Structure formats: C-alpha cells, structure tokens
C-alpha cells in the first residue's frame, strides 16, 4: 500500500514537513473536492439551519500485544466514514455514512437535515482551503514501521522488565499505532485537512514475593513517530513498570482522613483535568449544570494557580492542529492567578456565550457529535523548590502515579486513584502506600494550594478522557503542588 510519509507540500515553508495524506477523501478517485462538499452541505441545509459541517475521517491502525514474552496477537485495520451535522440554534441533527459512496453520503445529509424540517434552504458559503501549521510533523509513523521492528520494541520492554529483578514473574506489553486523517468542511467556508499520528506503548509487570503479588505499569507516547523511542526507550518503560511493582510489594495500608497532600510533577495533572477541567467545558455552563456556572471573573482557586489548556504542544497526545469543527485552536488561559477567566468552547457554546470558538470542539470519531473537550491541560510552574514542599509536611501523602480520575460536574466532587504513593512523615518520604483514592471538591481543593514547585513536567502520553461515552486522547501536566488538605481514602483509621 502507498503510504505518504512527510513529503514536502506547497510553497509555504511553515508547512514544509506537513504530510500529504493517504485518505481516499484527499487523494485518488474518491477525493472530496470543494464542489462536492458544498453539494452535500447544501443538501444538509435544504430544510434550513444555522450551520452545517462534514467530518471525514480515515483511521488506519496497527497493534501488537505481547503476553508473557510471546506475541499473542497482531491486529489492525482501516475505518473510514463521514459525519454530517446540521445545527439549528443549539439543536443538532446528526447522521453518518461508513463509506464515500455519493448515495450514502447524500442519505446521511438528508437524515441530518430532518432536525430543521420547518425552515427554508440555506446556501453555504464558498469553501476556502486552509493551510495549517502542524505541531506534530512526523518523519516515520509507527503504524508504518515493519512488523518485525515493532515486535522488537515490545521484546526490548519485556526483557528490561524481567532483567530488573528476579521477583518480576510476568510481563505483558502492547504497542498501538494509528494514522488518522480528518477533513472538515463547514457551511461557513472552512475546508481543513489534518494528519494525526499516534503511538502508545504500555508495559505491565507482575512481581511476587512469597504469597504477595503486586503489579506495576508504565506507558507513554503521543502524536509522535518512531523517534519517540529515542527519548523514551522501551527499556525505560519496562524497568519503570518493574520498579513500581517492586515498590508495591512493600506497600502498606494508606491512612484514612483529611491531611496535606503533595502531588508529584507530571501525571498529577490528572487532578486538574478532573477538579477544574471538565467543569470549565462550556456545554455544562451553557446548561447551567456545572458548579463553575456564572463564576467567570471570580476567584475559584488559590492565587498561586494558573491553568492553561494548550493544544499546540509539539507531539503531545492531546495536541490538535485544527479541532474537529475546523477551528484552529489556541492556547487558552482558563484560570489566571486563581481567577476564572474562560471556559472551553465549541461552536455551539461559543455562539451561545457570544465568544470566539476556542477550538475545543472534539469527537471520538465520525460516528459521534462534537462537544467542548480539553486538549493538554496544564498548571503553570511556581517558585517553590520541590524538596521544600515535601519538607514542609509533617504528616501527609506524596502522590506519584494514578490509574485515573472522575468528577461529578454538578457538585464538583472529584476522585483520583493512586497506583504509587508514599507516606510523608516529618518532611520525609517513608513507606509506600497501597492503592488509594483521593477525594475532594474542585474549587475547595484548588483553594487549598499553598505551594507550587518550579519543576513543571508534562505527563508522558497515556491519558484518555471519557465524556458522554466518547473517548479522546488528552495530555496533562503540572509542577509539584502542595494541597493543605485533601481527603485520603485509605483503610487505616
């Protein structure tokens, strides 16, 4: 199969390394030209509507799973289709076709148009193709790497984990790579194509000592190519998974109750994602169901807290050149010095709040409608020395790694689950703790931030965010942060 890899395109030097794409809707006999796209949009708007768009998607994936040192399965495939949306006020009509056959695309456009049954036809604007600068130009996509080489990456992770310690009894690893292309065409004239690579390596290790069995895992990736593994070798992930499993062999029951919590740099960004991120997605605020409704301009966190959603971090898992509604996103300051500045908008919420869309409209696939979503959600670095932060705690928790988090948007309660954490006693890390849940309330927890480290770190790409049944890849990052008080859900009273 022909696979375009990072060939030069056009005279614009900024896009010199932009991949041209292989999707049938951008190349070959089924390529969608502006005229055909406009015809489809015209059909979608034949009963009226404020806006309509087409979302073409092509997704080629390749995955490998290794169990206990042996490749168990090779998988992969191609998925392709187009979603058609008609917007009338805040109402959405949606349909999709799983092919580029004209008849099926027209049927989808007609189905979507039913939402606006009463109105008169609306003519779409002429489309103009946009050239978008890529924040994830990839030389060699992992999905195109030959199978034997991909198997080797897994084997290296597997070997490193086993070699780490004799107590490591089992290792499982997987490698998933995707080449995704989208083409968004809108009734207000956008015609935008994006190539979105993705890679992810995961390693899980089982350690046993006597009767006790524990697991540890490590993983990472992003919108990156094979070069990801230069900086983050499979060996690093293998050893890291083994290290966590061994640490957990010595873990003891975590305390229960409220106490100071120090969040380590990087992965702890999951706290932001849950504690404030979701509550600032504008759909919840438009519907007045978020506890951040009507809070713009008001203090919602400690003055030390500045939170940004930044879609343009090179190679990060949550980055986007263009969102799924054809809007070029921008870095977006949500909270500045503790004051709430802005929500994250898709087109519908932006229209409602009379703001510019922030480029936060995302969707899982052409089978799904867009919603305001996060990209890479970050807390900016502060002034404190991380060592001082830990030293300042008499008795509390130091949180390092997490399995995930969840928030109740309406009341702001959030949890996140630790997979590696330590007790802090008299300013020193002492015993590792058994997996435990931390629970807090978004605004209350962020008011408890009393120290912010200068050690900002981005989490290595592993997070997937779920909302209304749709999963999208996201990034998080933050420095070491001290919360004066948070509820720790251990078993020891």
Using CB under 8 A, which residues numbered 427 to 456 contact other proteins?
434-437, 439-441, 443
Per-residue x/- track, 92-111, other proteins (CB under 8 A)? xxxxxxxx--------x--x
In the bound state with other proteins, the residue whose beta carbon lies nearer, of 119 and 189, is 119
**266-287 burial, b for 16+ CB within 10 Å, e for fewer?**
bbbbbbbbbbbbbbbbbbbbbe
**Is residue 72 at the binding interface for other proteins, with CB under 8 A as the rule?**
yes
List 13, 29, 70, 210, residue binding other proteins (CB under 8 A)? 70
**Is residue 25 at the binding interface for other proteins, with CB under 8 A as the rule?**
no
In the bound state with other proteins, the residue whose beta carbon lies nearer, of 18 and 164, is 164
The span of 8-16, 206-214, 302-310, 334-342 binding other proteins (CB under 8 A) equals: 206-214
| Continuous segment of H or E residues that includes residue 371 | strand 371-372
Q: Phi-psi bin for 391: left (phi > 0), alpha (psi -120 to 50), beta? A: alpha
Write down the least CB distance from residue 61 to other proteins, Å: 9
**Is residue 28 at the binding interface for other proteins, with CB under 8 A as the rule?**
no
Helices (H), 136-281: 147-164, 228-231, 234-249, 269-272
Cβ-proximal residues to 112 (8 Å cutoff; 6+ apart), any chain: 44, 52, 84, 85, 86, 93, 94, 95
Contact at 8 Å (CB) between 50 and 41? no
Write down the least CB distance from residue 336 to other proteins, Å: 20
**Is residue 257 at the binding interface for other proteins, with CB under 8 A as the rule?**
yes
In the bound state with other proteins, the residue whose beta carbon lies nearer, of 18 and 401, is 401
d(CA 456, CA 376): 14
Using CB under 8 A, which residues numbered 158 to 177 contact other proteins?
169-170, 172
List 71, 296, 331, 336, residue binding other proteins (CB under 8 A)? 71
In the bound state with other proteins, the residue whose beta carbon lies nearer, of 254 and 451, is 254
Nearest CA to 263 out of 492, 477, 489 is that of 477
- Torsion over CA of 464, 468, 469 and 473, rounded to 10 degrees? -20
In the bound state with other proteins, the residue whose beta carbon lies nearer, of 26 and 259, is 259
Using CB under 8 A, which residues numbered 313 to 352 contact other proteins?
none
Contact at 8 Å (CB) between 477 and 306? no
Kindly determine how many residues on this chain lie close enough to bind other proteins according to the rule CB under 8 A: 86
């Amino acid at each position: 199969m022909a696979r375009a890899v990072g060939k030069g395109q056009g005279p614009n030097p900024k896009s010199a390394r932009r991949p041209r794409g292989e999707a049938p809707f951008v190349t070959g006999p089924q390529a969608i030209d502006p005229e055909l796209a406009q015809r489809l949009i015209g059909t979608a708007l034949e009963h009226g509507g404020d806006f309509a768009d087409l979302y073409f998607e092509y997704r080629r994936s390749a995955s490998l799973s290794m169990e206990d040192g042996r490749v168990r399965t090779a998988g992969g495939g191609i998925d392709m289709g187009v979603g058609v949306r008609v917007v009338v006020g805040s109402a959405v009509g949606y349909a999709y076709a799983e092919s580029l056959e004209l008849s099926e695309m027209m049927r989808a456009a007609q189905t979507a148009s039913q939402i606006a049954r009463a109105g008169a036809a609306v003519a779409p604007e002429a489309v103009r193709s946009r050239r978008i600068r890529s924040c994830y130009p990839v030389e060699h996509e992992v999905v195109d790497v030959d199978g034997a080489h991909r198997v080797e990456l897994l084997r290296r992770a597997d070997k490193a984990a086993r070699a780490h310690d004799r107590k490591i009894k089992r290792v499982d690893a997987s490698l998933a790579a995707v080449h995704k292309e989208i083409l968004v065409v809108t009734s207000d004239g956008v015609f935008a194509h994006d190539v979105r690579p993705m890679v992810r390596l995961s390693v899980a290790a089982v350690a046993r000592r006597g009767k006790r069995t524990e697991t540890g895992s490590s993983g990472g990736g992003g919108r990156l190519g094979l070069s990801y593994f230069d900086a983050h070798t499979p060996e690093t992930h293998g050893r890291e998974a083994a290290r966590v499993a061994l640490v957990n062999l010595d873990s003891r029951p975590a305390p229960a109750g409220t106490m100071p919590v120090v969040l380590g740099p990087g992965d702890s960004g999951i706290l932001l994602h849950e504690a404030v991120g979701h509550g600032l997605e504008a759909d919840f605020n438009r519907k007045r169901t978020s506890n951040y409704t009507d809070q713009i301009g008001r203090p919602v966190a400690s003055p030390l807290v500045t939170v940004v959603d930044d879609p343009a971090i090179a190679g990060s898992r949550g980055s986007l050149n263009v969102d799924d509604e054809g809007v070029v996103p921008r870095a977006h300051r949500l909270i500045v010095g503790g004051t709430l500045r802005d929500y994250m908008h898709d087109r519908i919420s932006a229209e409602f709040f009379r703001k510019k869309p922030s480029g936060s409209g995302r969707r899982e696939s052409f089978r799904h409608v867009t919603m305001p979503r996060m990209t890479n959600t970050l807390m900016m670095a502060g002034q404190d020395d991380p060592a001082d932060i830990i030293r300042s705690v008499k008795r509390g928790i130091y949180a390092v790694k997490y399995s995930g988090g969840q928030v109740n948007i309406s009341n702001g309660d959030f949890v996140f689950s630790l997979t590696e954490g330590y007790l802090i006693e008299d300013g020193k890390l002492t015993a590792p703790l058994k997996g435990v849940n931390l629970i807090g309330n978004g605004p209350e927890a962020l008011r408890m931030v009393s120290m912010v480290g200068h050690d900002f770190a981005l989490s290595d790409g592993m997070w997937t965010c779920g909302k209304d049944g749709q999963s999208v890849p996201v990034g998080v990052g933050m420095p070491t942060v001290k919360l004066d008080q948070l509820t720790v859900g251990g078993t020891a009273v």
